Structure 1
Amino acid sequence: MVRMIELAGLTKRYGEKVAVNNLTFTVRPGIVTGFLGPNGAGKSTTMRMMLGLDRPTAGDVRIDGKHYDQLKDPLTYIGALLDAKAMHGGRSAFNHLLCLAQSNGIPTKRVHEVLDTVGLTAVAKKKAKGFSLGMGQRLGIAGALLGDPRILMFDEPVNGLDPEGIHWIRNLMKSLAAQGRTVFVSSHLMSEMALTADHLVVIGQGRLLADTSMADFIARNSRSYVRIRTPQRERLLDVLHAAGVTVVETGNGTLEVDGSKSEYIGELAAQHQLVLHELSPQQASLEEAFMQLTAESVEYHAHSDTPVDAPLPPQQQWGDGWKGK
C-alpha cells in the first residue's frame, strides 16, 4: 500500500503569532524528503501537528489518508523521532522499547531486532538516563523503527552521533526509502542533508518556500558557471566572443562563463588548439542555495562587532571544556 503524509492548508497560531501559515505539500514514498527552514520557521510545530501532538488552528494533515488519532496501533503506520530525551530515564533501553511494543501490539522479538539494528544490544539492560546523547538518538531511532512502519519521520537524527553513526543513519534512511517507505527528515546539518535527501520542502516564517528536487533547488537558488584558466587568455576570449559566449573576467587571470556547458567550451578550445589549465563546472552547495532562498525569512540574526582577525578570548581558544580555572 502506498503511504504518504498529506498537508492541506495547515496553519497554527499562538495568539498573534502565526507559527505555520497555510502549508500544503505531500511527502511521497520511495525517496528521502528533507525538511529545511531557519530557526523559528515552524518545522517542529509542523511535525508535531503531523503526529497529533499539536492541534492545527486551520487546515488538515493526514497520515495514510487518516488523522493520526484515527490510526490503530500507530507505530505500525508511522515511526517518529522528535526528541531523543522523550523517555523514562529509569527504564532500561529494552524495557523502554518493550512498553512501546506492548501498547501497539508488537511482538517482543521485534524489540531485540531493532536494538540490534541500532547497535544497542550490548547496553539493552542499562538505564536510559545513563546514555550519552548519541546513544539516546539510537534508542529513539529504534523506537521509530519498532512497528516496521511504512512512514518514518526524523527530527535532527544525527544529533550527538559520531562520524560512524552519521554514516550509519544516512545509509539507513536511504535504504528505508529504497524499500518504498516514506522518509521525512528535518536537519540543520546542510552537508549531511545534501548527501541524504532526494527532495526538499523548505519553509520560512511558517510559509512554504520550495517543494522540489534537490538538484532543481540548488539550480534555481544559486549561480552555476564554468571556471576557465589558460595561458592563452586573449586568444580564448576572442574565440568565445566570436561564438557568442559571454565571459566574466575575474581579475586574477580566471575567466567565468555563465549558462554554458563545460563540454562546449572544451570543444571550442580544442578546435582552435588552445591550451586549458582548468575547465571546471561550478555550482553552489545546498547551504549556499538555502541561505540565498531564506535570507528574508531568518527570524534571528546574529551580529558581532569583533573584527574577523581579532584574537579569541582564552576560553574560546581552548574550547567548551575550558572552565577558566
Structure 2
Amino acid sequence: MSLGWQRASSRSSVVAMIELEGLTKRYGEKVAVNNLSFTVRPGIITGFLGPNGAGKSTTMRMVLGLDRPTAGDVRIDGKHYDELKDPLTYIGALLEAKAWHGGRSAYNHLLCLAQSNGIPASRVRQVLDTVGLSAVARKKTKGFSLGMGQRLGIAGALLGDPRILMFDEPVNGLDPEGIHWIRNLMKTLASQGRTVFVSSHLMSEMALTADHLVVIGQGRLLADTSMAEFIAENSRSYVRIRTPQREQLLDALHAAGVTVVESGEGVLEVDGDKSETVGELAARHQVVLYELSPQRASLEEAFMQLTAESVEYHAHDGQPPGAVPQQQQPPGQPPQQPWGSDWKRG
C-alpha cells in the first residue's frame, strides 16, 4: 500500500510521539481520567484498552484539544495541539464515524479539510483511492453505511500524511475484508516509522494488530507493556497432557520434581512452559502421549483478569447478582459466585 503524496518538510526526520504526563480530567465529582502518564512511540502499533467508562475516549479527546485537562499535560510532537500549525499534517485521527455534514459528498468533505490545512487538492483523490471510496467520491455522505463512514473517517486521518495516527474503534462497521484492510494499513503505517495509537473493544483483533498495550481502568493506568509481556503477566500458561499410562507418567513427573495437577477426564496439567521437559520424561520412561500441548491465555482472558476490579458496568443473564442457575451447581455444593459480578466490588 502506498500513501501517495509525501509532504516535503523537516518533519520527515522528526521522531513524533504522543506524551501524557499526569493527565487528569474531572467532570464535577466524577474523575474520568486520573493522573495518566505514558508515551505512545513511533514504529509500533500501540493498543489502548480499558472497560467501558475507563476514560479512553476522554483521553483521546484531550490529546486533540477537544477537552481541556483538569490537570497534567499532553503533547503531540512536543507541542500542545492548539500550537500546531496545519494540525492534520502532524496528527490524523478518527474518533467518531459520520462526523461530517451529510449534505456534502465524500470528495467535498475531504476537500474542505485539505483547504483549511494547506494540503494540495490532489491529495483528496489519493486518500479516497487508498480507503476504497473512489467510486462513491461524489455521493452525499448521508447515504453512507457505517463501514463507508469509517473508511471516510480514516481517509480524513490520512489526508495530511501525518507522522501520528490515532484511531478509536476503527473496525466498527467494517466487513471482514475491511477489517483485514485496516489491520494491514495500520501495520504499514507503523512500519514506515509513524506513531499509531488505536483503541478497540475487539480483543481478538487487537491481539492480531498491536505490538504494545496501554491499559486503563477507572481512569488509572493499569499496564504499559508489550503484548507478549501483558499476556504472560496476567494469565496462566500450562501444558495439557493426555496419556493411557497416567500413573507411570505421574510417577516420572513427581520424581523429577515437576508439579502436576489432574483436571478431570484423564487430563493432566503442568504449569509453565514445560512441554519439552514433559516430552523428554515421557520418552525416557517409554510413556505413550496422546496429547502434549502448551496452553496460553488469550489477550481477552488476560485483559479480563487485569481489569476485573475496574469494570464499572456489569451485566447479568437474568439472574439476581451473584446467582448461578441451580443446574450448574455441583451436587451438595453451595451456590457459586460468578467471576466479575458486583459482589466483588466494595
- TM-score, L = length of structure 2: 0.88
- Supply the distance in 2 between the matched residues of 1:229 and 1:282 (Cα, whole angstroms): 13
Matches within 5 A, 1:216-295: 216-295=229-308
1:96 to 109, 120, 123: 109
- Supply the distance in 2 between the matched residues of 1:270 and 1:236 (Cα, whole angstroms): 10
Query: Relative to 1, partners in 2 of residues 1:260 and 1:131: Cα closer, same or farther, differing over 3 Å?
Result: closer
Count of residues in Structure 1 that have an aligned counterpart in Structure 2 = 310
Counterpart contact for 2:273–2:294, Cα < 8 Å = no
Q: Which residue identity lines up with residue 2 of structure 1 in the other structure?
A: V
Q: Which residue of 2 aligns with 1:130?
A: 143
What is the CA distance between 1:149 and its match in structure 2? Answer: 0.5
Q: Which residue identity lines up with residue 68 of structure 1 in the other structure?
A: Y
- Supply the distance in 2 between the matched residues of 1:186 and 1:8 (Cα, whole angstroms): 19
Q: Which residue identity lines up with residue 75 of structure 1 in the other structure?
A: L
Matches within 5 A, 1:169-208: 169-208=182-221
- Supply the distance in 2 between the matched residues of 1:69 and 1:305 (Cα, whole angstroms): 48
- Supply the distance in 1 between the matched residues of 2:84 and 2:155 (Cα, whole angstroms): 20
Between stretches 173-182 and 266-275, larger displacement belongs to 266-275
Three-state SS of the structure 2 residue aligned to 1:287 is helix
Q: Which residue identity lines up with residue 149 of structure 2 in the other structure?
A: G
Query: Relative to 1, partners in 2 of residues 1:287 and 1:260: Cα closer, same or farther, differing over 3 Å?
Result: closer
Q: Which residue of 2 aligns with 1:3?
A: 16
Q: Which residue identity lines up with residue 257 of structure 1 in the other structure?
A: V
Three-state SS of the structure 1 residue aligned to 2:264 is coil
- Supply the distance in 2 between the matched residues of 1:288 and 1:277 (Cα, whole angstroms): 27
What is the CA distance between 1:247 and its match in structure 2? Answer: 0.2
1:213 to 202, 221, 226: 226
Counterpart contact for 2:237–2:273, Cα < 8 Å = no
- TM-score, L = length of structure 1: 0.94
What's the Cα RMSD here?
1.3
Unmatched 5+ residue regions in structure 2? 1-13, 328-346
2:177 to 158, 161, 164: 164
Matches within 5 A, 1:47-86: 47-86=60-99
1:147 to 148, 151, 160: 160
- Supply the distance in 2 between the matched residues of 1:244 and 1:212 (Cα, whole angstroms): 33
Residue 45 in structure 1 maps to residue 58 in structure 2 = yes
CA offsets per residue over residues 23-44 of structure 1, 9 Å max, x none?
0000000100000000000000
Q: Which residue identity lines up with residue 243 of structure 2 in the other structure?
A: T
- Supply the distance in 2 between the matched residues of 1:278 and 1:309 (Cα, whole angstroms): 34
Q: Which residue of 2 aligns with 1:323?
A: none
- Supply the distance in 1 between the matched residues of 2:204 and 2:325 (Cα, whole angstroms): 24
What is the CA distance between 1:251 and its match in structure 2? Answer: 2.0
Q: Which residue identity lines up with residue 220 of structure 1 in the other structure?
A: E
Q: Which residue identity lines up with residue 72 of structure 1 in the other structure?
A: K
Unmatched 5+ residue regions in structure 1? 311-325
- Supply the distance in 1 between the matched residues of 2:77 and 2:154 (Cα, whole angstroms): 21
Q: Which residue of 2 aligns with 1:35?
A: 48
Q: Which residue identity lines up with residue 218 of structure 1 in the other structure?
A: I
Q: Which residue identity lines up with residue 129 of structure 2 in the other structure?
A: D
- Supply the distance in 1 between the matched residues of 2:210 and 2:273 (Cα, whole angstroms): 27
